[in-house]
């Protein structure tokens, strides 16, 4: 008999709004980070267990990131995507703080064809770990700030925090 696991969650305040974090209760691995209004984002469900203690490391690292003191998260992650999505998400993890990349560059990093750029975009859009897995660092080939599941205003704020965009340093 398979025993269902309960999703553990907490909410953390941030300069880009409240962040909903979920984790695997057995391992403590972060399974999602969502923001209000996020396309495909999570919301607290009946039966979930509020467990702030499980998220102390994530909360501390997020606070340090927003204070400009942390450039790389060191958290255990568990996303459970398809093999293709996991490859795309792993490529996102290699985009350094303060840098940007394009959908085409991500496709090339995972050995996908140029024709796969659309599928790469879909995988990036389905990233369940906003901010921690830096999909906000992916831009259009022409340098445009293309879609972001958390909203373009948040993307601008995150890229500004990381020093990639100028003129909005008062956002934090």
pLDDT digits (tens, 9 = 90+) for 30-65: 999 999 989 889 999 999 999 999 999 999 999 999
SS (H, E, C) 93-160: CCCCCCCCEEHHHHHHHCCCCHHHHHHHHHHHHCCCECCCCCHHHEECCCCCCCCCCCCHHHHHHHHH
Residue 2 pLDDT class (50, 70, 90 cuts)? low
CA separation for the pair 142, 112 (Å, rounded): 20
Q: What is the pLDDT of residue 92?
A: 97
4 CA to centre of own chain: 26
Helix 117-125 with 83-92: angle, nearest 10 deg: 80
Mean pLDDT (whole number) for 78-107: 95
pLDDT above 90 for 147: no
Query: Structure pTM?
Result: 0.90
- 135 catalytically annotated: yes
pLDDT digits (tens, 9 = 90+) for 117-146: 999 999 999 999 999 999 999 999 999 998
Catalytic residue among 54, 135, 139, 149: 135
């Amino acid at each position: 008999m398979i025993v269902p696991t309960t999703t553990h969650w907490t909410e953390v305040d941030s300069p880009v709004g409240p962040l909903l974090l979920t984790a695997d209760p057995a391992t403590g691995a972060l399974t999602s980070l969502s923001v209000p209004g996020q396309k495909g984002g999570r919301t607290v469900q009946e039966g979930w267990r509020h467990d702030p203690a499980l998220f102390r490391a994530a909360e501390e690292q997020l606070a340090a990131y927003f204070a400009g003191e942390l450039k790389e998260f060191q958290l255990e992650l568990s996303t459970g995507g398809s093999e293709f999505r996991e490859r795309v998400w792993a490529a996102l993890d290699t985009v350094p703080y303060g840098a940007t990349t394009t959908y085409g560059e991500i496709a090339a990093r995972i050995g996908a064809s140029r024709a796969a750029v659309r599928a790469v975009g879909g995988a990036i859009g389905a990233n369940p770990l906003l901010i921690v897995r830096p999909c906000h660092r992916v831009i259009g080939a022409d340098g445009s700030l293309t879609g972001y599941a958390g909203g373009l205003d948040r993307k601008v704020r995150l890229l500004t925090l990381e020093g990639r965009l100028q003129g909005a340093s008062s956002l934090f």
